[in-house]
Chain A
Amino acid sequence: MIRVDSLSLCFAGFGLRDVSFHVAPGEFFALMGPTGSGKTLILESIAGLVDRARGAIRVAGQRVDHLPPERRNVSLVYQDNALFPHLNVLDNVTYGQRYHGIKEDQGRRMALDLLERLALSHVAGRLPLNLSGGEKQRVSLARALACKPDVVLLDEPLSSLDPQFRGDLRVTLKDLHRHSGLTFLMVTHDFVDALTLAERAAVIRGGGLEQVGAVNDVFRKPATAFVAGFVGMKNIFPVKGDKECDLGKEARFAVPGATGPGHVALRPEDVFVSLRAAAATHKVGLPGTLLAVWREGFSWFAEVACGDSRFTAALDRQFLDQGKLDPGQSVQLSFAPESLHFMPEV
């Protein structure tokens, strides 16, 4: 449904470099990357809102990179919803229909159906000013869908919402995608959104794609150290040509599957910490020194020095119940070799 080939764009000090990927019809595709990596630029290039973009962009099989935005049949949803403040909800939703050959009566019926499906019927006559953040974003979605586009482009649609609305809207988005059968391309820097919603994903860094693939592959088998870090693998260490990871001070472990120099990554959830007295139940064991313990939401994490490197480990309740944990305390780190993910040097 969307095919982007060698998309390049040069601004002062920033640009896109030879970006290529495709999104299958009806697919939910996530474009991930940190702030300033060029995600929105790709989205706006597909929508035709960026001048000077080079490369080929196809939507529904048709080459559109030479077409103005209004002839590309893609709808855009911004994170700040960008509702027209002078139009009420219904008028916002029906705004684009006249340009897509949808008759007024039919369009109004479609819009009312959409509003009902999104639980917005009661606000149809209200101005955007009088809506909550979640309602605004749902109206924005309804407006994008109401003109039957080939593709819906979502620019961080959940990032401006508070956690409660965010979860609700995630479910709404999933539902809408399933029922509409449309192709969704979502830009996000939140990998929870991507994991929950997308089937395939791409990770972008500094204007170039680092990895494209099934969303599970991106999260479980990151192609580069950057992607590994981006998807939450906090333990990333270099691997030398001897297929071993040398942490310094004689702390080292073998990396199964290593084919040469590169990086090895390990999720904090796969690293186990125990007091030295406890027997390591996993195959790789390393002595370490506890540096810090902290809490993130309902989870606890520890930073452990091992050789010259530092591990981040998620702590289980059993370990926390063992008693006093002081910085400087000796602990045992362990992990299963199969939890290690090797990434060869690119």
Chain B
Amino acid sequence: MTRGDRPGRGGFPQGLPGRIFQTWLALSCLLVLLFIVVPLARTVLSPDSERMWETLRDADVLRSVGLSMGASAMAAVLALIFGTPLAYVLARREFPGKKIVESLIDLPIMIPHPVIGIAFLTLAGRNNWFGQMLGSMGIEIMGTVTGITVVLLFVGLPFYINTAKAGFESVPLRLEKVSRSLGASPGATFFRVTLPLCRRAMLVGMIMCMARALSEFGAVVIVAYHPMIAPVLMFERFTAYGLKYSQPVAVILIVLSLLFFFALRVVSRPKRIQS
């Protein structure tokens, strides 16, 4: 009897659970990877080169992809500007109701996205006083790039705030204390110590926010069918012309998502700076 075959507790050969475990690991990994890769690969390989080339020169497609990218990037910048203070407060301060605030921030991840669209329609529609007030100030939400950006910010903000918060939490509090004791004000400490050490996490948060915004469809289609962002255009081509005409747009979105994924991997690679 070899060492691996010796009976374990309850007379069960010790080697067998190990082999089952390894097989289970390998099969699960393979299945999950296939589950993700096969549909995407099938979509990417479906359109013929002529149709793909045609789509790449289509002004409507380019405009919608550009709009998707631009609005998503703007949402990420707005998340940086408005989300950073909240992420910092959540990372550094304890206050009553903090858990509730954290749950509220996660809410856009959990609720169905058409609900978000309907919520914005209710709030900022022309029949609502808030929408009328914004309109009187020259700010139109429904059917505008502004509206698209606001919705994309809404869905992407939790990703930025949670990532930036984790980044702030990873900066040792003692560094801030030492900075204060050396004469720096809270603001100077934030900009000279905390922010530089958290820059990478904030960048990762922005990429995640932008990637999430780029993939948004459900909320945008209610708030602004026109001008069309890429997912809405793809949906329209699918419903109006069928699968073959929507596939090239899908390929473009898949490639863009891969680029974001690549950027995320590069940026989030740990850097060797430790105190």
Residues of A within 8 A of B (CB): 44, 47-49, 68-70, 72-76, 78, 80-86, 95-96, 98-100, 127-129, 143-144, 147, 153
Known contacts A44-B177, A76-B177, A85 near B274 by CB under 8 Å: yes
CA distance A76 to B180 in the complex (A): 9
B residues with a Cβ closer than 8 A to A are 172, 174-175, 177-185, 188, 192-193, 196-197, 272-275
What is the chain B residue whose CB lies nearest that of A143?
A: B182
| Complex interface: chain A residues within 8 A of B196 (CB) | 86
Q: A82-B175, A86-B197 are in contact. Are A76 and B275 (CB under 8 A)?
A: no
Which residues of A are found within 8 Å of B177, using beta-carbon distances? 44, 47, 49, 69, 76, 78, 82
Other 7 A-B pairs with CB < 8 A, given A81-B275, A95-B192, A96-B184: A47-B180, A49-B177, A49-B180, A70-B182, A78-B178, A128-B275, A129-B274
Least Cβ distance of A135 to chain B in Å? 14
Give Cα distance in the complex from A74 to B172, angstroms: 20
Contact across chains for A69 and B175 when beta carbons are under 8 A apart = no
A147 CA to B184 CA, complexed, in Å: 11
Given contacts A80-B174, A82-B175, A85-B197, A49 and B181 within 8 Å (CB-CB): yes
**How far is it, in angstroms, between the C-alpha of A153 and the C-alpha of B188 when the chains are bound?**
22
Most chain B Cβ neighbours within 10 Å, of A78, A127, A147 = A78
B180 pairs with A80, CB closer than 8 A: no
Chain A residues in 8 Å Cβ range of B184: 70, 95-96, 99
A84-B193, A85-B274, A86-B196 known; A68+B180 contact, CB < 8 A: yes
The answer to whether A85 and B275 have CB atoms under 8 Å apart is: yes
A47 to B177, CA, bound (A): 9
Question: In the complex, what distance in Å separates the CA atom of A85 from the CA atom of B178?
Answer: 13
B272 proximity list for chain A (CB < 8 A): 129
Contact call B183/A70, Cβ cutoff below 8 A: yes
Which residues from chain A contact B193 at a C-beta distance below 8 Å?
84
The 10 closest A-B pairs by CB, nearest first: A99-B183, A96-B182, A69-B180, A76-B181, A82-B174, A85-B275, A85-B273, A82-B178, A96-B183, A70-B183
Q: Which of these, B172, B175, B273, contacts A129 with CB under 8 Å?
A: B273
Chain A neighbourhood of B275, CB < 8 A: 80-85, 128
Residues of A within 8 A of B175 (CB): 82, 84
- In the bound complex, residues from chain B placing their C-beta under 8 Å from that of A85 are 197, 273-275
B183 to chain A: which residues have CB within 8 Å? Answer: 70, 73, 96, 98-100, 147
Which chain B positions have C-beta within 8 A of A70?
A: 180-185
CB-defined contacts of B185 to chain A, threshold 8 Å: 68, 70
Closest to A70 in B: B183
Q: Which residues of B contact A144 (CB under 8 A)?
A: 182
How many angstroms between the C-alpha atoms of A316 and B275 in the bound complex?
45
In the complex, chain A residues whose CB is within 8 Å of the CB of B182:
70, 75-76, 95-96, 99, 143-144, 147
Closest to B172 in A: A82
- Given known A-B contacts A49-B180, A96-B184, A147-B182, A78 and B273 have beta carbons under 8 A apart: no
CA distance A84 to B197 in the complex (A): 9
Q: Which B-chain residue is minimally distant from A102 (CB atoms)?
A: B183
CB distance from A8 to the nearest CB of B (A): 21
B174 adjacent to A78 (CB under 8 Å): yes
Residues A75 and B273 in contact in the complex (CB < 8 Å), given A80-B174, A84-B175:
no
